[in-house]
Structure 1
C-alpha cells in the first residue's frame, strides 16, 4: 500500500498554528489568508486520518496526537529547508554547512560564544545549530543529521565517539534568606532531607544527584 504524501505547505500551516496559538495569528505569520490556513489544516487531518486540534467555537487546542506529531513535523520541515539551502550552496559551489546539535544550555550560551571566537575563514558560510535533549543529540549523530553534538555526560553509545571538553560546577538556586545562601559553596550533604527541584530525566544529572544524596 502507498501512503499519501504529506504536503509541506500543510505541515508549515500546522507548525505555524502550534507556534502562534491560533489560526488567525498563524495566517499573519505565513502571510496567507485565514481560510487558506484552515483548509491546509483540514486537508492534513484528512490525510493523516486523525484530528490535530480540538475545536471549541473560534478557539482551538492541540489534541494529544497533535502535540506528539508536532515534533515530527518540525523535524521534517527543518530537513526540507536544509535540503533547499544545500541545493543552493551546491549550485553556488559553496562548502557544505556544518550541522551542530547541542543541549539547550550549551546551544544558548557556550556554542555561540565558541563559534564567535573562531576565525571566519575556517568556517563555511553556514553553520546550523539545533537545540535538543541529550538523547536527541545522540540520535542526530547516529542518523548523520548532525556533524557534531554537545551534550552533558553520561553519553555511552557504541555508535558515538565521545570526547570530554569541559566541566562546570552544579549550582543550587536558593531563596535569599536561606541559611545556605550565605555560603560560598554548598556541599551535597547540606541538601539531604530537603525538598529539591531537579531535572525530570532520571538517567542523567538527576541520577548522579540522587546517588550522591
Structure 2
C-alpha cells in the first residue's frame, strides 16, 4: 500500500472551511479563492490521502464518515499553527503575549466579558482569544496545550487536566414578568405540569438531569422549543414561548423588565471549573488570569433570582 503524501496547510484550511460553512462557495469566499479552486484543492487532498472526504450531492458537499473523523484533528492542527503564528507576531512586535480561552457559548456571552475586562486591566496589551468547542475537543486542546485554559462544567473527567472549581450556581426558571407562575417564590415540576417549556441542552448531561427530575416527580414536560444556549432560551422565554430552566449564573445577563427568574426546586447545582493542562506548569500569564477569575467571582454581586 502506498504511503499517503503529506497534506499541505492550504489543503487543511480548505477542508476545514468547507466543514465549518458546509459550502465550497462559502469556503472559497472565506479563503479568498474561487469555488473551482476550492474544489481542486479538496479533490487533490482526497487523491493524496486515498479516500473521499465528501459525497457530491447535486452540487452540495456532504461529509463522509471518514471526513467527520478527520475534521476535529484538522481543526486542532490549524489551531496549533495559528498559535505559532501568534507567537511569532508577539516576538516580532515585543507584545505581552496571548491567552487562548475556551468556554461554552453561553458562558462566553454572559460571563466572559467581565472577566476579560478585569484581566485586560491587569495585563494591558495582552492578546486574548475566546473560542467555543465541543467538550471532547476542548479536553484535547487543553491537554495538548493548543489552548491555555477552559471553563468547563464539572466533572471535567480527564486525567491530563487540572481543574479548579471557581463558581457554583443553581438552576432557575426564566419566565415573563406577567406569567401566572411569577407569583410563586419557588417553582417545582408539579407547578410546570402542562406548562409550555423551552428545553435547553436536550440530549446532553444537563438536559438528562432535567428529564430525570421531571420523571422522578411523575411529570411529563410539555416542550414547545428546543435550543442549546442560555441566551436563546432566555430570549424565547421573554417572548412568551414558555418557561426555561437555566443556570442562574449564565442567565443573569438576560434578566430585566420583561424576563424574571424564580428558584427551581429540587436544587440543581452547576460547578464550573477553570481547567488547564496537568502536563506542565501554567505560564505566569495564566497564573494572573486564574487570580483574576478567582477575584472576579469572589467580588461579583450574587446573581440570585430577580
Structure 1 length-normalised TM? 0.78
Once the two structures are overlaid, the 10-residue window that deviates more, 138-147 or 167-176, is 167-176
Distance 2:154 2:25 in 1: 43
Deviation, structure 1 residue 153: 1.8
Gaps of 5+ in 2: 217-306
Distance 2:175 2:51 in 1: 46
Deviation, structure 1 residue 158: 4.4
Distance 2:73 2:95 in 1: 29
Deviations 1:17-65 (A, max 9, x none): 2333332332222222222111101011112222122113433322233
Distance 2:47 2:83 in 1: 27
- CA contact 1:27–1:37 (8 Å) conserved in 2: yes
Q: What is the root-mean-square deviation of aligned Cα atoms in Å?
A: 3.3
Q: Which has the higher contact order (CA 8 A, sep 6+)?
A: 2
Distance 1:66 1:123 in 2: 41
How many matched pairs?
Answer: 211
Distance 2:109 2:194 in 1: 33
Distance 1:114 1:6 in 2: 39
Once the two structures are overlaid, the 10-residue window that deviates more, 54-63 or 173-182, is 173-182
Deviation, structure 1 residue 9: 0.7
Choose the corresponding residue for 1:200, options 198, 203, 211.
Answer: 203
Deviation, structure 1 residue 154: 2.2
Gaps of 5+ in 1: none
Q: Which residue of 1 aligns with 2:138?
A: 137
For residues 32-71 of structure 1, what are the structure 2 equivalents within 5 Å?
32-71=33-72
| 2:100 corresponds to 1:99 | yes
- CA contact 2:90–2:97 (8 Å) conserved in 1: yes
- CA contact 2:120–2:126 (8 Å) conserved in 1: no
Once the two structures are overlaid, the 10-residue window that deviates more, 35-44 or 1-10, is 1-10
Question: Which structure shows the bigger proportion of residues in helix conformation?
Answer: 1
Q: Which residue of 1 aligns with 2:169?
A: 168
Question: Which structure shows the bigger proportion of residues in strand conformation?
Answer: 2
Deviations 1:122-155 (A, max 9, x none): 1553112221234443333322223222111223
Deviation, structure 1 residue 8: 1.1
| 2:117 corresponds to 1:116 | yes
Distance 1:130 1:181 in 2: 36
Once the two structures are overlaid, the 10-residue window that deviates more, 171-180 or 18-27, is 171-180
Once the two structures are overlaid, the 10-residue window that deviates more, 182-191 or 95-104, is 182-191
Distance 2:154 2:190 in 1: 22
